């Protein structure tokens, strides 16, 4: 294998598994260290700079970082990255003074943003401080999009949404609530310099089976019902409720039902429990609230009497796999089952809908009736129109909406400057050795063996009485500190300098994880079998160091390195060093600065 070129920013970025997995590339270990140091405001700002909604995300993020977290490969559970984010938000001081100030002199460019959800707000957060005049339109009276209208308040309190949306709106953004955009053509005529479409995926899928029409009074579309609950239009439901669907919307529906009078609430899903789309922790929370989940049942018919829903008939199925491993649900042949109920919530999927975008306005749509969007620039086929969030590639989540928004902001800025939106500046990397003394590092390299700490919950009886009572109470300072210690500091990288190495094997001998091998070079497949411990995780790189006197190479399997620094402590010559790699993703403002610097 070729020696590893560690100057390529991606190499060490990938080693920071959580940051690499985060769509917004939040520097996770950096903020966790700040929490451990009690510097909550600093930890909050690191988050705010990259993901814009730390308090919201710290409660609701889909947390793609956690399945990626290295700790999960070393022991059972990853670091509670998401809930530590909430800690930063909960314990910070007033940080308003540290936010960008509204600019007095605008740059004369006007940007229209359709929808006031996280995607649009992320765009505005980047462009407003640069002097752009941002106008956000939303059909709802308040900003926040589905964060406000869909996510139940027992998961995300209104105060948190208000606070973090206001941080952005206070940057001098014009928010026009209660105004639905009905025509793209008309909007294009208003001569904005660019338009960002962040209108989400607003339509809940229906279930067209017998009885649907007759019993419609007691059959509700999940996301419509949730927004009515959120707006206070609905405040009760029948005693016996069936929720159809296995995603996160279904989980929010069943848990909300339990708080609005539902006593016997069931979730019924076509697939098996493991394949359900809902996150494991949401299923866990539902089960904890005495909501049973029934699997392998396909709804066949709504039963009704005198225009009133009486229940649902289900066909029993089982999973069968064909030669290609594809799953098919086939009837088991057993008798159908009837579940009596008073209300049904249909949460079987969410769709995009762009009735207000005329198909001849210059924006091309594909065969699924989705706009054609470039995943890097977020540009549509109309030079001035960009998409992001759920509107771009179908329903995802908040953190993706933020990431899209920030990428779109870079494009819009480039566009308004008359530059090529395809030329994207690379991320900024800061490197610093962490060595303070012979065995002293400026980070805590001791590895805590603690298992993941549970976040305390509100007492169930109390929680179920009030739909606005937040269930999770968040870590207290003591728990937060202990959980923070579990982080392995994956951004403090092991950096190898072959010229200094005397091949004494000290690092090989001390490494608790058998990461390091000195051996003859070979191709990757071969090398992976010849290491101290087999390197079977192909998603993790091998770090190849050369310049050794014996002509061998140093091979480090990055997979389960603890970043404990023992290799560097043990190295007599400093051939190993622990260096912090801080990778800052480029956002519109930095991109602009980089350009002015290189031009100068």
Ligand X SMILES: Cc1cc2nc3c(=O)[nH]c(=O)nc-3n(C[C@H](O)[C@H](O)[C@H](O)COP(=O)(O)OP(=O)(O)OC[C@H]3O[C@@H](n4cnc5c(N)ncnc54)[C@H](O)[C@@H]3O)c2cc1C
**Binding footprint of ligand SF4 on the chain (CB under 6 A):** 16-18, 28-29, 69-71, 78-79, 81, 487-488, 490, 494, 510-513, 515-516, 561-567
Nearest-approach distance from CB 204 to ligand X, in angstroms? 8
Contact string (CB under 6 A) for ligand X, positions 165-204, x = contact: ---------------xx----------------xxx-x--
Site for another protein in 549-588 (CB under 8 A): 549-550, 560, 562, 564-566, 569-573
Nearest-approach distance from CB 8 to ligand X, in angstroms? 31
Residue 70 contact among ligand X, another protein, ligand SF4, none, beta carbon within 5 to 8 Å by kind:
ligand SF4
Largest CA distance in the chain: 89
Question: How is the beta sheet containing 385-387 ordered, strand by strand?
Answer: 174-177, 133-138, 110-114, 194-197, 385-387
Task: Report residue 287 as tokens.
Answer: 């089960």
Q: Does 58 bind ligand X (CB under 6 A)?
A: no
Residue 508 contact among ligand SF4, ligand X, another protein, none, beta carbon within 5 to 8 Å by kind:
another protein
Nearest-approach distance from CB 290 to ligand SF4, in angstroms? 33
Nearest-approach distance from CB 536 to ligand X, in angstroms? 32
Residue 55 contact among another protein, ligand SF4, ligand X, none, beta carbon within 5 to 8 Å by kind:
none
Task: Report residue 32 as tokens.
Answer: 């966790």
Contact string (CB under 6 A) for ligand X, positions 376-415, x = contact: -------------xxx---xxxxx-x--------------
User: Of the two residues 289 and 577, which places its CB atom closer to ligand X in the complex?
Assistant: 289
**Residue 521 DSSP symbol:** -
Decide: 127 and 412 in contact? Cβ < 8 Å.
yes
Nearest-approach distance from CB 393 to ligand X, in angstroms? 10
Site for another protein in 465-524 (CB under 8 A): 502-506, 508-510, 512-515
Q: Does 55 bind ligand X (CB under 6 A)?
A: no
Got the DSSP string for 305-362? ETTEEEEEEEEEEEEEE-TT--EEEEE--PPPEEEE-SEEEE-S-EE---TTS-TTSS
Nearest in space to 451 (alpha carbons), one of 76, 65, 87: 76
Decide: 218 and 344 in contact? Cβ < 8 Å.
yes
Q: Which of 128, 147, 341, 379 is the binder for ligand X (CB under 6 A)? A: 147
Q: Nearest 5°: phi and psi at 510?
A: -85, -25
Q: Which of 84, 87, 146, 568 is the binder for ligand X (CB under 6 A)? A: 146
User: Of the two residues 477 and 502, which places its CB atom closer to ligand SF4 in the complex?
Assistant: 502
Q: Residue 561 CB: number of other CB atoms within 10 A?
A: 23
Residue 516 contact among ligand SF4, another protein, ligand X, none, beta carbon within 5 to 8 Å by kind:
ligand SF4
Nearest-approach distance from CB 62 to ligand X, in angstroms? 5
Q: Does 371 bind ligand X (CB under 6 A)?
A: no
Decide: 363 and 407 in contact? Cβ < 8 Å.
no
Q: Does 451 bind another protein (CB under 8 A)?
A: no
The stretch among 32-40, 293-301, 395-403, 443-451 that binds another protein (CB under 8 A) is 443-451
Nearest-approach distance from CB 486 to ligand SF4, in angstroms? 7
Q: Does 150 bind ligand X (CB under 6 A)?
A: yes
User: Of the two residues 361 and 508, which places its CB atom closer to another protein in the complex?
Assistant: 508
Q: Which residue is nearest to ligand X (CB)?
A: 389
Task: Report residue 186 as tokens.
Answer: 């008309």
Distance of alpha carbon 522 from alpha carbon 505, whole angstroms: 20
Q: How far is CA 278 from the centre of its chain?
A: 14
Q: Which of 1, 6, 74, 548 is the binder for another protein (CB under 8 A)? A: 74
Size of residue set near another protein by CB under 8 A:
37
User: Of the two residues 93 and 440, which places its CB atom closer to another protein in the complex?
Assistant: 440
Distance of alpha carbon 562 from alpha carbon 184, whole angstroms: 52
Q: Does 472 bind ligand X (CB under 6 A)?
A: no
Task: Report residue 240 as tokens.
Answer: 């016996």
**Residue 552 DSSP symbol:** -
User: Of the two residues 387 and 496, which places its CB atom closer to ligand X in the complex?
Assistant: 387
User: Of the two residues 400 and 441, which places its CB atom closer to ligand X in the complex?
Assistant: 400
User: Of the two residues 165 and 488, which places its CB atom closer to ligand SF4 in the complex?
Assistant: 488
Sign of CA dihedral 487, 488, 490, 492: positive
Decide: 120 and 113 in contact? Cβ < 8 Å.
yes
Q: Residue 454 CB: number of other CB atoms within 10 A?
A: 11
Residue 23 contact among ligand SF4, another protein, ligand X, none, beta carbon within 5 to 8 Å by kind:
none
Residue 198 contact among ligand X, ligand SF4, another protein, none, beta carbon within 5 to 8 Å by kind:
ligand X
Q: Which contacts (CB < 8 Å, 24+ apart) does range 537-545 have?
A: 537/73, 541/4, 541/11, 541/14, 541/15, 542/1, 542/4, 543/4, 543/6, 543/494, 543/496, 544/1, 544/2, 544/3, 544/4, 545/3, 545/4, 545/496, 545/497, 545/498, 545/501
Distance of alpha carbon 65 from alpha carbon 411, whole angstroms: 26
In sequence order, the β-bridge partners of residue 221 are 346
Look at the block and give the residue holding tokens 């018919």.
Answer: 301
Nearest-approach distance from CB 70 to ligand SF4, in angstroms? 4
Q: Which contacts (CB < 8 Å, 24+ apart) does range 182-190 have?
A: 182/356, 183/356, 183/358, 184/356, 184/357, 184/358, 184/361, 184/363, 184/385, 185/358, 185/361, 187/112, 187/114, 188/361, 188/362, 188/382, 188/384, 188/385, 190/112
Size of residue set near ligand X by CB under 6 A:
41
Decide: 130 and 592 in contact? Cβ < 8 Å.
yes
User: Of the two residues 336 and 446, which places its CB atom closer to another protein in the complex?
Assistant: 446
Residues in touch with ligand X (CB under 6 A): 60-62, 114-120, 137-140, 145-147, 150-151, 180-181, 198-200, 202, 223, 226, 248-249, 252, 350, 356, 389-391, 395-399, 401
Residues in touch with another protein (CB under 8 A): 73-75, 438-440, 445-447, 449, 502-506, 508-510, 512-515, 533-534, 536, 549-550, 560, 562, 564-566, 569-573
């Amino acid at each position: 294998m070729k020696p590893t070129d560690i100057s390529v920013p991606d190499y060490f970025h990938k080693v920071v598994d959580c940051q690499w997995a985060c769509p917004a590339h939040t520097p996770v270990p950096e903020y966790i260290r700040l929490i451990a140091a009690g510097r909550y405001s600093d930890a909050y700002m690191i988050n705010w700079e990259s993901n814009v909604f730390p308090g919201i995300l710290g409660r609701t993020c889909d947390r793609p970082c956690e399945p990626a977290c290295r700790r999960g490969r070393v022991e059972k559970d990853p670091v509670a990255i998401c809930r530590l984010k909430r800690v930063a938000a909960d314990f910070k001081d007033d940080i308003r003074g540290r936010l960008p100030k509204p600019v007095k002199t605008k740059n004369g460019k006007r940007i229209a943003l359709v929808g006031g959800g996280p995607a649009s707000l992320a765009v505005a957060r980047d462009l407003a401080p640069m002097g752009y005049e941002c106008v956000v339109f939303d059909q709802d009276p308040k900003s926040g999009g589905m964060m406000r209208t869909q996510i139940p308040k027992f998961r995300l309190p209104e105060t948190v949404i208000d606070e973090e949306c206001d941080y952005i709106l206070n940057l001098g953004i014009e928010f026009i609530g209660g105004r639905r955009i009905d025509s793209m053509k008309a909007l294009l005529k208003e001569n904005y310099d660019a338009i960002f479409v962040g209108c989400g995926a607003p339509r809940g899928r229906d279930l067209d089976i017998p009885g649907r029409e007759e019993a419609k009074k007691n059959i509700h579309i999940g996301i419509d019902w949730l927004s009515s609950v959120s707006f206070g239009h609905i405040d009760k439901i029948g005693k016996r409720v069936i929720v159809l669907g296995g995603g996160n919307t279904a989980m929010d529906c069943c848990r909300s039902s339990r708080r609005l009078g539902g006593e016997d609430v069931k979730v019924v899903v076509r697939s098996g429990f493991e394949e359900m789309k809902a996150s494991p922790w949401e299923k866990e929370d539902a089960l904890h609230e005495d909501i049973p989940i029934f699997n392998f049942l396909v709804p066949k018919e709504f039963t009704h009497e005198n225009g009133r829903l009486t229940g649902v008939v289900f066909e029993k199925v089982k999973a069968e796999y064909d030669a290609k491993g594809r799953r098919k649900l086939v009837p088991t042949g057993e008798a159908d089952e009837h579940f009596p109920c008073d209300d049904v919530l249909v949460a079987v999927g969410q769709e995009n809908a762009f009735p207000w975008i005329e198909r001849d306005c210059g924006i091309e749509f594909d065969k699924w009736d989705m706009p054609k969007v470039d995943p890097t620039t977020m540009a549509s086929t109309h030079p001035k129109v960009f998409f992001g969030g759920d509107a771009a590639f179908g329903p995802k989540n908040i953190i993706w909406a933020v990431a899209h928004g920030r990428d779109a902001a870079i494009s819009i800025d480039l566009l308004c400057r008359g530059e090529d939106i395809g030329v994207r500046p690379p991320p900024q990397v800061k490197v610093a050795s962490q060595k303070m003394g012979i065995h002293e590092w400026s980070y805590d390299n001791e590895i805590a063996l603690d298992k993941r700490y549970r976040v305390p919950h509100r007492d169930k009886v109390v929680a179920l009485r009030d739909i606005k009572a937040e269930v999770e109470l968040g870590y207290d300072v003591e728990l937060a500190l202990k959980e923070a210690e579990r982080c392995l500091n994956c951004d403090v990288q092991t950096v190898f300098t072959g010229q200094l190495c005397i091949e004494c094997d000290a690092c090989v001998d001390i490494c608790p994880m058998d990461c390091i091998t000195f051996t003859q070079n070979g191709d990757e497949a071969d090398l992976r079998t010849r290491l101290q411990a087999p390197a079977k995780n192909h998603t993790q790189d091998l770090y190849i160091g050369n310049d050794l006197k014996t002509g061998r190479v140093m091979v480090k399997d990055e997979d389960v390195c603890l970043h404990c620094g023992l290799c560097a402590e043990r190295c007599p010559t400093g051939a190993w060093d622990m260096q912090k790699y801080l990778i800052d993703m480029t956002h519109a403002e930095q991109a602009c600065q980089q350009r002015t610097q290189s031009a100068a």
